[in-house]
Structure 1
Amino acid sequence: MFFSEQYYADPHPVLARSRARAPVERVTDPGGREIWVVTGYAEARAALADPRLRKRSTPPGEQPLAHMLNSDGAEHARLRKPLTRTFTARRVEGLRSGIEATTDRLLESMTGEVDLVAALALPLPFLVICELLGVPEADRDVLGAWGAVLSTDSHDQEFEAASREMTAYFGGLVETKRTAPADDLLGALVHSGLDDAELVSTALLVLTAGYETTANLISTGVLVLLRHPEELAALRADRSRLPGAVEELLRYDGPLVTATPRFTAEPVEIGGVPIPEQGVVLISLAAADRDPARFGRPDEFDPTRPGGHLAFGHGAHFCLGAPLARLEGEIAFGKLLDRFPTWELTAEDLRYQHSPLFRGLRSLPVRLG
């Protein structure tokens, strides 16, 4: 059943049964809301690029903190444009040495049994994004503490307080960058034409979207490799296989179960299923990437498989941070292989976030030797 304990632990069987019934299925979310889940690859790819499926559910001006993930059309293009120069493959490749140095520093303190989520998967992308944005080193611990609260499952008073504190912090940082120009992403964005609210929401989006998904890629990827020792051994023997392994990890058990919700601007039909105007549509990237109509033996982990996954989306909202996530994944896995000849999972009872969106481990206890 969707959104059950079993679903959060492993959504793939539920999604496979849904896809076998139909490529689009109407279900009820935990709040009692009627939604349509798209599980077929062809239908998902088309829906991701369909302009009739909007990210914004309210008229412009009525939704606070506009950013790329909740905007459409010309507004989306305007908000996205200032970031495009930063996240090109060439610019991201220039970050390699800094990411390698950060990874080395984190690995130096790791020995014996560790929680790989807390020790590497979360701090690595968090520190990389902080460096990219231009967050002062002295502020990163408190920012990380707020981020840890915001990545929890509950939206309680602590969550709301952390959200307010982080928003206020970036408001102050925007002012600092405006009065004291800096050679970093936020320093460039203050001169991009975005207003203060848009600058703050963009900074928050880059931070949260830029580290939690990559953290999930790293931790889940290590788990998948531990459960496929023959592929782990192949990577140890031949590091040129790393890029293909990262792509297959993204397809096989990627960091997102679904894309962020979309809302129908008019009645539409997807996969033969009619959806009314203002219908809520969840496009399941995880289900699409295991569709047997697109991928042979989809439930097998095969790093030699040709690409074509939808883990980063498709269309106008394709993830800008894809090159950075790929690079961080390759570096993290490569450095772990270089430094630790043996990896051992020390617990089988692993818990995942209770999130309809993210596919992320809460912890990953391993022994590295």
Structure 2
Amino acid sequence: MSRLPQLPFARSDVLEISFEFAELRDSEPITKVLTETGDEAWLVSGYDEIRQVFADHRFGRSHPTPESAPRLSNNALIGGPNGDHATEHVVHDRMRRLLAPAFSARRMRALSGRVEEIVTGLLDRMAEEGPPCDLHARLSVPLPIQVICELLGVPYEDRDRFRAIAEEMTDLSDPARSAAARDEMSEYTYTIVKGKREEPGEDVYSDLATADLPENEIARIAGALLFAGHETTVNQIDYGVLLLLRDPEQREALRRDPSLVPGAVEEIMRTAAPSQHGLVRYAHEDVEIAGVTIRAGELVMLATFAANRDGRVYADPDRFDVSREMLHAHVGFGYASHYCLGASLARVELRSVFCALFQRFPALRPAVPYERLKPRTDRLTGGFRTLPVTW
């Protein structure tokens, strides 16, 4: 009996996905693998197949027996089951109805002026301090942190505190450590939410303060919003910059023609893969997808980063092309009822960065060869700890 492929798969290039993901996607877009914890899972890596799972209500994040459920990793945040099996879909739908207005495309466009102002200030400081600099620390981290603080109503002066908690939440080695950090984030943010009941503001936490949800759900949502609202965007900025620095022709095309920026942002979201952890789903009943039967309770790993390079959907899928005509929307923000609420916010931030960065610093280049950058393989969201650049 042949042994199943064992995760995690090694990467030979920090800007490419592992060869094994591409090989399995092209031959078996739904196939069995062994996870990092030794459990069996269905790896879904095809574009059409992933969209089917996202859109099918028979899949969820919860499991009827979470203690014995198969796991993707030892991370407490998204390495295994999450939520109450009996109420997951009801709570999810209620949460989306509550938060959708706050993250609407219209409100995010209204925020774009403020985001541009923050970007300009950060680039001014880079210019004043001169090269070389760590772009990760000077731009990629502070921008989404300041934006999400203002949007949610979190004190910006607490940024070092919650950033440290977020770092612990992404730990892949010790489930107790990431679970403790997740609980600490929920407790910290829920304290802020409760304060909004006495002193509400024009922010998302004030909306949460009056939500018709159980208190533990409000705490969980508040913590998740702060974590997700900055952590993933940090990495997309880093990877977008690297993709453009690696390809001077693409970078120059973007600098000459700012109208390419919106498409470039979508191409960054399609191509960049800071993490290869994948998303967790469990079948809540027997489901057949693309001729494969997934049994109730079985674990599914959604490899969106592999689906975004599916040659059945994208021509020359591994090529980064800021002028690409995107006939099919990438799944970097999910799909259907599981489409990321913060997608419009991420787009506003990324567009502001890539409209301004290379205009301000046309000679920007890596201070070290990108091949020498060490990705954070011990962290859920991957990415880098530093991104040295000069100009």
Contact 1:171 1:200 in 2 (8 A): yes
| Paired letter, 1:321 | G
Question: 1:2 is matched with which residue?
Answer: 7
> Offset of 1:66 from its aligned partner?
7.2
Q: Does 1:179 align with 2:195?
A: no
Question: 1:353 is matched with which residue?
Answer: 376
Question: 1:311 is matched with which residue?
Answer: 332
Separation (CA, whole Å) in 1 of partners of 2:13 and 2:89: 33
Return the TM-score normalized by structure 2.
Answer: 0.85
Separation (CA, whole Å) in 2 of partners of 1:113 and 1:152: 30
Cα distance change of structure 1 residues 137 and 288 upon mapping to structure 2, 3 Å threshold? closer
> Offset of 1:21 from its aligned partner?
2.3
Question: 1:28 is matched with which residue?
Answer: 34
Cα distance change of structure 1 residues 4 and 12 upon mapping to structure 2, 3 Å threshold? closer
Contact 2:49 2:290 in 1 (8 A): yes
Render the CA deviation track for 1:156-207: whole Å, top value 9, x for unaligned.
Answer: 7765554443332222212211122222110122122223222211111111
Cα distance change of structure 1 residues 205 and 223 upon mapping to structure 2, 3 Å threshold? same
Count of matched residue positions in the alignment of Structure 1 and Structure 2 = 365
Cα distance change of structure 1 residues 40 and 137 upon mapping to structure 2, 3 Å threshold? closer
Question: 2:159 is matched with which residue?
Answer: 140
SS in 2 for 1:294: coil
Separation (CA, whole Å) in 2 of partners of 1:229 and 1:268: 46
Q: Does 1:100 align with 2:116?
A: yes
Q: Does 1:266 align with 2:285?
A: yes
Q: CA RMSD in A?
A: 2.7
Return 353-362 or 33-42, whichever deviates more: 353-362
Q: Does 1:76 align with 2:92?
A: yes
Q: Does 1:292 align with 2:281?
A: no
> Offset of 1:129 from its aligned partner?
0.8
Cα distance change of structure 1 residues 72 and 317 upon mapping to structure 2, 3 Å threshold? farther
Q: Does 1:363 align with 2:363?
A: no
Cα distance change of structure 1 residues 67 and 242 upon mapping to structure 2, 3 Å threshold? farther
Return 219-228 or 20-29, whichever deviates more: 20-29
> Offset of 1:145 from its aligned partner?
2.7
Question: 1:150 is matched with which residue?
Answer: 169
Cα distance change of structure 1 residues 300 and 339 upon mapping to structure 2, 3 Å threshold? same
Separation (CA, whole Å) in 2 of partners of 1:267 and 1:22: 20
Please point out which of 15, 21, 33 is paired with 2:21: 15
| Paired letter, 1:366 | V
Separation (CA, whole Å) in 2 of partners of 1:35 and 1:274: 13
Contact 1:134 1:186 in 2 (8 A): yes
Cα distance change of structure 1 residues 338 and 154 upon mapping to structure 2, 3 Å threshold? farther
Contact 2:258 2:355 in 1 (8 A): yes
> Offset of 1:112 from its aligned partner?
0.7
SS in 2 for 1:36: strand
Question: 1:212 is matched with which residue?
Answer: 231
Q: Does 1:280 align with 2:299?
A: yes
Runs of 4+ in 1 over 6 A off after TM superposition: 65-68
SS in 2 for 1:165: helix
Separation (CA, whole Å) in 2 of partners of 1:109 and 1:153: 34
Separation (CA, whole Å) in 1 of partners of 2:61 and 2:13: 24
Map 1:106-255 to 2 at 5 A.
106-110=122-126, 111-155=130-174, 159=178, 162-254=181-273
SS in 1 for 2:31: strand
| Paired letter, 1:6 | R
Question: 2:70 is matched with which residue?
Answer: none
Cα distance change of structure 1 residues 83 and 355 upon mapping to structure 2, 3 Å threshold? farther
Return the TM-score normalized by structure 1.
Answer: 0.90
> Offset of 1:275 from its aligned partner?
2.1
Separation (CA, whole Å) in 1 of partners of 2:316 and 2:250: 16
Render the CA deviation track for 1:91-116: whole Å, top value 9, x for unaligned.
Answer: 00111122122222322332312222
Q: Does 1:324 align with 2:348?
A: no
Cα distance change of structure 1 residues 71 and 320 upon mapping to structure 2, 3 Å threshold? farther
Separation (CA, whole Å) in 1 of partners of 2:271 and 2:224: 25
**Unpaired runs of 5+ in structure 1?**
none
Contact 1:174 1:196 in 2 (8 A): no
> Offset of 1:67 from its aligned partner?
6.9
Question: 2:57 is matched with which residue?
Answer: 51
**Unpaired runs of 5+ in structure 2?**
1-5, 67-80
